[in-house]
């Protein structure tokens, strides 16, 4: 067995894998946040709660209707996405003309309501979700649990598919154009309010999908998204919200940095992302991939 | 004589609190090319934006093919067959030339095909994968016009297509506009460049302080030149 | 103007006799949150900066107070000073970074820094982690002149601290400095072009707001004799936003009203457990959608309309 800087390779690669998994969730969540912000001008504070709802939806589908994980991977995001659409139609659309702060406050309030209700109904201690692909591979330098490898791959595919959808398809062109100049896009005959609703539904669905993927790794609990969304805010500040690829790279990169910190200086692992944020604010205030202002 | 395509009557419009249009009346028949002339601030752009339904508050009547549109949202109006080319051109920087060109959805049959548009604007074909806002001003203007030809719209609203462009390009745009007219498009053109307008239009409406104050047929332009110059302050 | 003066006089009389009708500990807690909310509102209402991380100043000041008074065994005045000074210093560092971005990013950055402070507090030895700092002794103030064991006596001390903080904010807003700050809030570029360095003004407002939030937090630790993670948590940052919002952003008395409403509500709804959060969230939603001016703002509007008739 060789050692790297006094760290056994098992521990090093194990933490790197954990970092990669966390990074996968940061990437998926910051992506949705950026897409929603582009169209709605709202920082969706409810994102963490919607991630939690995705995990819960999968857990309830399994517990009540015996729906397997693979089906939940599709059904749960649709359910939560539809819930997002209802929220947008009923509440969010009333505040687009106001300062961004009100969107932030409104979605913060919604997050409190949603998380509070789940906590009230199911308590705050978590429930386990069975691992859909148990087992793993011995890679020689480390043991790779199959499901964890799958999560990283799935997240990569989801992120790239989102990138493709936005940068290379017709619907994506509508989205990009409407982010720039919604009035003109509407004057071309496109129903922009419907596009906005759809975008919110997709962004929320993306958060829920991340939640479903997280369910077998983490405990399914009402508060699983509370701290996560705060970290994702820092990720978004670091990356800037202008670039889809930027969000993906920043998300995975910060997960890895967090993993490395866990190896070399564990007490700082919770705070390292915020330290990175402070450094980025010092050096490049607009964010790594952000345009100035 | 062709039927009336667009009839605007007693149109009033507001930007927030400020009252811009105070009762605009004019009409366009199918196949005509009509200009709105007038000084800065006379209400020409506001008239186009009102027809397109972009402004929040407007009263009076705007009838397109006999249908009242003042109660409609702008996407609905566009789907009736009206297309808008704004003064600032509105090229999307996050879309390339081709995507910009294909963005407006087809609302009716009878529009130009992508190939026909590229034939009309060969420059755009060469630069089809460039970022939309990386084009020169003239190319951006051609893109802005080309973009609305695909949709099948019968009425084109063009807001100062020659603004800030070199004489050669103004001439080229003049040719294109005449070509569009010959293809049967009905065009409402807002212009400050009266000399340009005189070469392409059938009729001119002169606007001042949010009203149409005079009409001059193209055939009468020579006789009315002094009057027009005093209207436009040139 | 006269009506305002009479209003203030009535409020002060009410504050003086309040312990006859309500529990002093409840009143003191409400006053601490009222000062906290005023400090927050100074930043949002008059500098246009929404901090979503103000709990870091409030909560850290509580820890500073507790550490100085308990572990170092110094006088409560030293604890209060440490709370204010520590919060101001923290405000200087985080504020200098946060004002590099504007609008909604500013809110996210302050929130993120507060979360960093929270994680720090979970691990740092001097905060007592999950248990918090318990049993901070109540010592007499002014070298023994004012005994604080009696809640009713302490109430007047807290009232004095609150009034001091409130007066400081009032003076600040009505000073030339406050005027410049408002000009920056309304049009930063214009203020810049007039020669005011916007960032300096914003930073000073941020530090002042942090210091006053620290005063509120340290006072709360003095009253309750403990400092816990709750006071540095994001939920507390949200609570203070809610208080200012309920009372009325940008009105000077609004946050006080809002703080009393929310603290009272928490008191009466404590039995519902987690449901308090649901109700608070619902209040956020309703206020943002329908009553953005808050209680005081809506009342002022109604009063103006009545006068106009």
- pLDDT, chain A, mean: 92
Give me the long-range contacts of C78-83 (CB less than 8 A, separation at least 24). Answer: C79/C218, C79/C221, C79/C222, C80/C161, C80/C215, C80/C218, C80/C219, C80/C222, C82/C218, C83/C214, C83/C215, C83/C217, C83/C218, C83/C219, C83/C221
- What does DSSP say about strands B211-217 and B203-208: parallel, antiparallel, or unpaired? antiparallel
User: Can you give the residue range of the structural domain that contains A46?
Assistant: 9-118+141-283
**pLDDT, position C129:** 82
Give residues with Cβ within 8 angstroms of C136, minimum separation 6.
Answer: C65, C66, C69, C70, C221, C222, C225, C226, C227
Q: What is the ipTM of this complex?
A: 0.93
**pLDDT, position A292:** 47
Counting one residue from chain A and one from chain B, the pairs whose CB atoms sit within 8 A come to: 59
Please tell me which of the candidates C115, C120, C284 has its beta carbon nearest to residue A105.
Answer: C284
Beta carbons of C101 and A281 less than 8 Å apart = yes
Residue B78 sits at the chain A interface (C-beta within 8 Å): yes
Residue C130 sits at the chain A interface (C-beta within 8 Å): no
Residue A242: both structure tokens together: 């202008």
Q: Model pTM greater than 0.90?
A: yes
Residue C234 sits at the chain A interface (C-beta within 8 Å): yes
φ/ψ of residue C132, rounded to 5:
80, 180
**pLDDT, position A103:** 94
CA distance C51 to C210: 10
A33 in a structural domain: yes
Beta carbons of A188 and B78 less than 8 Å apart = yes
Render pLDDT for B136-159 as a digit per residue (tens, 0 to 9): 999 999 999 999 999 999 999 999
Cβ-based burial of C137 (10 A; exposed 0-12, middle 13-18, buried ≥19): exposed
Q: Mean of the pLDDT values across residues A83-107? A: 94
**pLDDT, position C125:** 86
Beta carbons of C283 and A109 less than 8 Å apart = yes
A128 in a structural domain: no
Give the range with max mean pLDDT: A43-47, A137-141, C139-143: A43-47
Pick the CATH number of B4-232 from 3.90.1150.10, 3.40.50.300, 3.20.20.150, 3.10.270.10: 3.40.50.300
Query: Residue C306's pLDDT band (boundaries 50, 70, 90)?
Result: confident
- For residue A84, which of A39, A144, A125 has the smallest C-alpha distance? A39
Query: Residue C17's pLDDT band (boundaries 50, 70, 90)?
Result: confident
A136 in a structural domain: no
Query: Residue B234's pLDDT band (boundaries 50, 70, 90)?
Result: low
**pLDDT, position B196:** 84
CATH of the domain at A248: 1.10.3470
The Cα of C171 is separated from the nearest Cα of chain A by a number of Å equal to: 27
**pLDDT, position B228:** 81
Q: How far is CA B217 from the centre of its chain?
A: 18
Q: Name every residue in A having a CB less than 8 A away from some CB of B.
A: 170, 173-174, 176-177, 179-181, 183-192
Q: Mean of the pLDDT values across residues B8-29? A: 93
The Cα of A173 is separated from the nearest Cα of chain B by a number of Å equal to: 7
A289 in a structural domain: no
High-pLDDT (> 90) share of chain C, % = 57
Please tell me which of the candidates B75, B94, B99 has its beta carbon nearest to residue A189.
Answer: B75
Render pLDDT for A179-194 as a digit per residue (tens, 0 to 9): 999 999 999 999 999 9
Give the range with max mean pLDDT: B215-224, C125-134, C199-208: C199-208
CA distance C227 to C214: 13
**pLDDT, position B94:** 92
The Cα of B77 is separated from the nearest Cα of chain A by a number of Å equal to: 7
Residue A272 sits at the chain C interface (C-beta within 8 Å): no
Q: Mean of the pLDDT values across residues A91-106? A: 92
Domain count, chain A: 1
Q: Do chains B and A touch (3 or more CB pairs under 8 A)?
A: yes
A130 in a structural domain: no
Render pLDDT for C57-92 as a digit per residue (tens, 0 to 9): 999 999 999 999 998 988 899 999 999 999 999 999
User: Are residues A131 and A149 in contact, defined by beta-carbon separation less than 8 angstroms?
Assistant: no
Q: Do chains C and A touch (3 or more CB pairs under 8 A)?
A: yes
Beta carbons of A104 and C122 less than 8 Å apart = no
Residue B111 sits at the chain A interface (C-beta within 8 Å): no
Please tell me which of the candidates C101, C112, C277 has its beta carbon nearest to residue A234.
Answer: C112
- pLDDT, chain C, mean: 91
Q: Mean of the pLDDT values across residues A19-26? A: 95
> Which residues of A fall within a CB distance of 8 Å from B92?
176-177, 180-181
Query: Residue C150's pLDDT band (boundaries 50, 70, 90)?
Result: confident
User: Are residues C175 and C205 in contact, defined by beta-carbon separation less than 8 angstroms?
Assistant: no
Q: Mean of the pLDDT values across residues C36-52? A: 93
Render pLDDT for A216-250 as a digit per residue (tens, 0 to 9): 999 999 999 999 999 999 999 999 888 889 999 99
Beta carbons of C109 and A236 less than 8 Å apart = no
Chain B 41-60, residues with CB within 8 Å of chain A CB atoms: 52-54
Q: Which of C278, C282, C286, C291 to mutate to test the interface with A (most CBs of A within 10 A)?
A: C278
> Which residues of C fall within a CB distance of 8 Å from A124?
274
Q: Mean of the pLDDT values across residues A148-161? A: 96
A59 in a structural domain: yes
Please name the residue of chain A whose CA is at the shortest distance from the CA of residue B79. A189
Please tell me which of the candidates A112, A120, A230 has its beta carbon nearest to residue C111.
Answer: A230
> Which residues of B fall within a CB distance of 8 Å from A188?
75, 78, 83-84, 103-105, 148, 151
Residue A190: both structure tokens together: 């496109």
> Which residues of A fall within a CB distance of 8 Å from B54?
183, 186-187
Please tell me which of the candidates C100, C238, C281 has its beta carbon nearest to residue A285.
Answer: C100
Residue C288 sits at the chain A interface (C-beta within 8 Å): yes
For chain B, the domains span: 4-232
CA distance A54 to A205: 8
Chains that touch C (3 or more CB pairs under 8 A): A
The Cα of A133 is separated from the nearest Cα of chain B by a number of Å equal to: 41
Residue B157 sits at the chain A interface (C-beta within 8 Å): no
Token pair 């397997």 in the structure block, residue: A68
Residue A1 pLDDT > 70: no
**pLDDT, position A284:** 87
**pLDDT, position A286:** 86
Render pLDDT for C275-286 as a digit per residue (tens, 0 to 9): 888 999 999 999
Query: Residue C19's pLDDT band (boundaries 50, 70, 90)?
Result: confident
């Amino acid at each position: 067995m060789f050692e790297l800087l006094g760290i056994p390779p098992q521990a090093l690669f194990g933490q790197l894998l954990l970092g990669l998994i966390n990074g996968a969730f940061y990437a998926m969540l910051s992506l949705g946040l950026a897409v929603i912000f582009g169209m709605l001008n709202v920082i969706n504070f409810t994102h963490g709660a919607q991630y939690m709802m995705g995990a819960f939806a999968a857990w309830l589908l399994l517990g009540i209707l015996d729906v397997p994980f693979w089906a939940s991977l599709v059904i749960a995001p649709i359910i939560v996405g539809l819930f997002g659409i209802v929220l947008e139609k009923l509440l969010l659309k009333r505040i687009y003309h106001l300062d961004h702060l009100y969107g932030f406050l409104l979605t913060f309030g919604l997050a409190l309501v949603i998380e509070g209700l789940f906590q009230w109904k199911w308590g705050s201690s978590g429930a386990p979700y069975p691992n859909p692909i148990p087992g793993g591979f011995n890679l020689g330098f480390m043991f790779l649990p199959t499901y964890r490898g799958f999560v990283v791959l799935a997240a990569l595919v989801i992120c790239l598919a989102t990138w493709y959808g936005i940068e290379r398809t017709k619907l994506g062109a509508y989205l990009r154009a409407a982010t720039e100049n919604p009035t003109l896009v509407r004057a071309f005959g496109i129903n922009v309010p419907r596009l906005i609703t759809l975008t919110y539904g997709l962004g929320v669905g993306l958060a829920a999908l991340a939640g479903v993927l997280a369910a077998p790794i983490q405990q399914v609990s009402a508060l699983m998204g509370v701290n996560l969304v705060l970290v994702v805010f820092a990720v978004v500040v670091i990356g800037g919200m202008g670039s889809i690829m930027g969000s993906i790279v920043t998300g995975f990169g910060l997960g890895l940095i967090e993993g490395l910190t866990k190896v070399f200086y564990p007490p700082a692992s919770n705070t390292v992302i915020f330290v990175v944020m402070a450094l980025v604010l010092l050096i490049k205030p607009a964010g790594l991939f952000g345009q100035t202002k | 004589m062709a039927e009336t395509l667009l009839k605007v009557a007693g149109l009033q419009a507001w930007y927030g609190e400020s009252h811009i249009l105070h009762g605009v009346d004019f009409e366009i028949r199918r196949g005509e090319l009509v200009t709105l002339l007038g000084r800065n601030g006379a209400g020409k752009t506001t008239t186009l934006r009102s027809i397109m339904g972009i402004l929040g508050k407007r009263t009076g009547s705007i009838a397109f093919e006999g249908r009242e549109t003042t109660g409609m949202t702008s996407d609905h109006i566009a789907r009736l067959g009206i297309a808008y080319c704004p003064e600032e051109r509105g090229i999307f920087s996050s879309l390339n030339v081709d995507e910009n060109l294909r963005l407006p959805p087809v609302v009716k049959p009878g529009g130009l095909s992508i190939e026909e548009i590229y034939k009309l604007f060969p420059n755009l074909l060469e630069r089809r994968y460039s970022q939309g806002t990386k084009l020169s001003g003239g190319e951006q203007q051609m893109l802005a016009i080309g973009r609305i030809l695909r949709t099948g719209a019968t009425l084109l609203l063009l807001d100062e297509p020659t603004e800030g462009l070199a004489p050669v390009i103004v001439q080229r745009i003049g040719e294109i506009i005449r070509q569009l007219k010959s293809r049967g498009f009905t065009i409402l053109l807002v212009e400050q460049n009266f000399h340009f307008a005189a070469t392409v239009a059938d009729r001119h409406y002169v606007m001042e302080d949010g009203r149409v104050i005079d009409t001059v047929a193209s055939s009468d332009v020579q006789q009315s030149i002094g009057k027009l110059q005093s209207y436009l302050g040139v | 103007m006269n009506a305002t003066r009479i209003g203030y006089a009535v409020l002060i009389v009410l504050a003086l006799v309040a312990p006859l009708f309500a529990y002093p500990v409840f009143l003191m807690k409400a006053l601490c949150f009222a000062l906290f909310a005023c400090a927050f509102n100074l930043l949002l209402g008059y500098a246009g900066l929404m901090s979503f991380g103000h709990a870091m100043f409030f909560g850290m000041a509580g820890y500073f107070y507790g550490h100085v008074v308990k572990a170092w065994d110094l006088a409560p005045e030293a604890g209060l000073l440490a709370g204010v000074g520590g919060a101001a210093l923290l405000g200087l560092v985080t504020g200098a970074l946060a004002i590099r971005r504007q609008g909604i990013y500013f809110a996210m950055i302050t929130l993120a820094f507060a979360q960093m402070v929270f994680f720090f507090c979970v691990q740092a030895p001097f905060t007592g982690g999950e248990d918090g700092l318990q049993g901070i002794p109540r010592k007499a103030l002014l070298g023994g002149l004012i005994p604080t064991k009696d809640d009713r006596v302490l109430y007047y001390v807290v009232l004095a601290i609150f009034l001091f903080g409130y007066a400081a904010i009032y003076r600040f807003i009505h000073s030339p400095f406050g005027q410049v700050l408002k000009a920056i809030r309304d049009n930063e570029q214009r203020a810049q072009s007039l020669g005011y360095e916007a960032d300096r003004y914003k930073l000073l407002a941020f530090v002042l707001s942090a210091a006053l939030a620290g005063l509120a937090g340290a006072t709360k630790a003095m009253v309750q004799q403990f400092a816990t993670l709750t006071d540095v948590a994001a939920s507390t940052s949200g609570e203070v936003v809610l208080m200012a919002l309920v009372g009325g952003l940008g009105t000077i008395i609004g946050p006080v009203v809002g703080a009393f409403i929310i603290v009272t509500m928490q008191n009466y709804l404590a039995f519902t457990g987690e449901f308090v959060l649901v109700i608070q969230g619902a209040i956020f939603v309703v206020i943002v959608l329908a009553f953005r001016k808050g209680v005081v703002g809506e009342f002022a509007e109604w009063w103006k309309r009545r006068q106009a008739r």
